[in-house]
A and B are shown apart, each in its own frame.
Chain A
């Protein structure tokens, strides 16, 4: 087995485009659940809004590409309003149901043949990212340095994406240590207590849903431009749960956990994949047990097992505080 190559791939993935997109999206999820206690089980829908927003703005509506970026964010904000306004007055589980349903409805609608002229149907939208790559200084096809290797376009998005992720993280950090952050955390703990003290819980929950949604939209924009395409079937519900996995891995409600959780998630996925393929090629995993494509599925089972073990041995995640976790159990 080539450990060197597995390690190289894992490191590249941990800092790669997937991890950037996951980190950004998970920051939004952390705003929702980690700080405000909103149960969002359709976060990938917000990511899709960002991607489709920028893609449709440029191809379908023929807007200026930079205006297209804004449209991506506006799509996500509108999605938050549509989901939040009717549900945030109700108990938390309503938001959970509505988010998961709405994100899946959106995917099915945009991939329909009827809407193909607008959304590209099941092949999605392509040919919108070119204007952004005019700025790309990494014109070669492949770049390799140290353990890292990336394509030119990917390297471009990574060098833009990570600083952006850090910037958004710092913004959230400031927000959560302000009185605004105190109100949303109070709502997470007990909404009625916050209301009894004169805080408009509904309005703060809506603000939080919009903020986290816009950050999810930003992740979708990075994804769309990084891949030069928006594919409807990327935005399946299971992606939402991978985002949750990354958040839980890092530790819910902690400022750096979306970044570290996402990097670890992608590194682990790559390592399990590499190891299983290695075992397969040496015959340690016989072909009657598992063939090539099945490895891709089994690695997610292993990640699931890993998360289950994490819940048993370190339920607070990497950054979480055990003391805080135990308070919750009372």
Chain B
């Protein structure tokens, strides 16, 4: 949490799994999902504070992606309820949740490869008149709206350093650029809650920093963010609150400084984390790569 921040809305909230938040945008209760004999998600309660950045961390296979799928309607839980913005949305389909303001991105990016970048962006906008079958034949009714949407899309593309790719097929983008496009596209929906599944994975380190800045700027616009991330440094840098999952369960909650010291969390990570530490040579190579890329803005390692 930034040192100079105003008193946190979460001050005084105890650091324990499932704890209630003063102003929750999302409350999940009793959510379970089994794949055969494997209990992939078994969450008693999670409550997400409005307007903050919450990190969801945990070793590979902890159930984070499955949990996202259950919350966003892409998968149906065996049991459990979701309350979004005070409304019970259990069993709602993904498109309905998105229209209500809960928008997600995917761990494996879903860029619409044979649409160009600007069309990808424009797709995200809500309430488009021209998406009606009959209206589609009468451009008179939606040309104006289309221009507004395009202007907003171009603005976002510029912020995400994708403006130069505007008219290219999304399929020609590098892996990192696709992550950026997916995040920018999600913002076109004008969401209240953004759920990002590993947004930094595969993004080259030079871009990671600007991506983090974007996430922070979303918070200052009042958007709530939940994101999955492996890198503890990133989590410490931008998140206000951390929820830790392991083997489908929430094992700890709290501010990042506290979570970083939690013996249960360290245990869960050491027990199951497979990332090999960098050798000195690898580290030097990466740094060299970053320097090269900083010299030519806009390029991005795949």
Contacts and interface: CB of A to CB of B under 8 A. Distances in A.
Contacts of A171: 137
B113 A182 contact: no
B74 A192 contact: yes
B112 A196 contact: no
Nearest to B145: A179
A140 interface: no
Given A195-B94, A197-B123, A201-B95, A185 B106 contact: no
Interface string A196-209: 11111100000100
Interface in A87-108: none
B110 interface: yes
Contacts of A188: 114
Contact of B95 (A179, A200, A327): A200
Interface of B: 72, 74, 93-96, 98-99, 103-106, 110-115, 119, 122-124, 126, 128-133, 135-137, 139, 142, 146, 169, 171-172, 185-186, 188-189
A178 B104 contact: no
A178 B133 CA distance: 9
Contact of B123 (A174, A182, A192, A211): A182
B189 A175 contact: no
A181 B132 CA distance: 10
Contact of A196 (B104, B122, B139, B146): B104
B146 A179 contact: yes
Given A186-B112, A197-B186, A192 B106 contact: yes
Given A189-B113, A196-B103, 17 more contacts: A179-B128, A179-B146, A185-B119, A192-B74, A192-B106, A192-B110, A193-B106, A194-B95, A195-B74, A195-B93, A195-B95, A196-B74, A197-B124, A198-B124, A201-B95, A324-B114, A327-B113
Contacts of A178: 130, 135-137, 139, 142
A267 B128 CA distance: 43
Given A195-B93, A198-B189, A190 B112 contact: yes
A128 B230 CA distance: 71
B110 A193 contact: yes
A138 interface: no
Contacts of B105: 196
A330 B171 contact: yes
Contacts of B74: 192, 195-196
A180 B112 contact: no
- Interface pairs A-B: 3 shortest CB-CB: A327-B171, A179-B130, A198-B98
Contacts of B133: 175, 180, 207, 211
Nearest to A183: B131
B142 to A, nearest CB: 6
Given A186-B123, A190-B110, A193-B110, A175 B95 contact: no
Contacts of B136: 174-175, 178-181
Nearest to A330: B171
- Which of under 10, 10 to 19, 20 to 34, or 35 or more describes the interface residues of A? 20 to 34
Contacts, number: 113
A197 B185 contact: yes
Contacts of B126: 198
A328 B113 contact: yes
28 contacts: A174-B139, A175-B136, A178-B136, A178-B137, A179-B122, A179-B131, A179-B146, A180-B131, A182-B119, A185-B114, A189-B114, A194-B95, A195-B95, A196-B72, A196-B74, A196-B103, A196-B186, A197-B98, A197-B188, A198-B98, A198-B124, A199-B95, A207-B133, A211-B133, A327-B113, A327-B114, A328-B114, A330-B171
A4 interface: no
A328 B112 CA distance: 10
A297 interface: no
A323 interface: yes
Nearest to B142: A179
A323 B99 CA distance: 34
Interface in A22-71: none
A192 B171 CA distance: 17
Contacts of A189: 112-115
B169 A327 contact: yes
Contacts of A327: 113-114, 169, 171-172
Contacts of B96: 198
A295 to B, nearest CB: 41
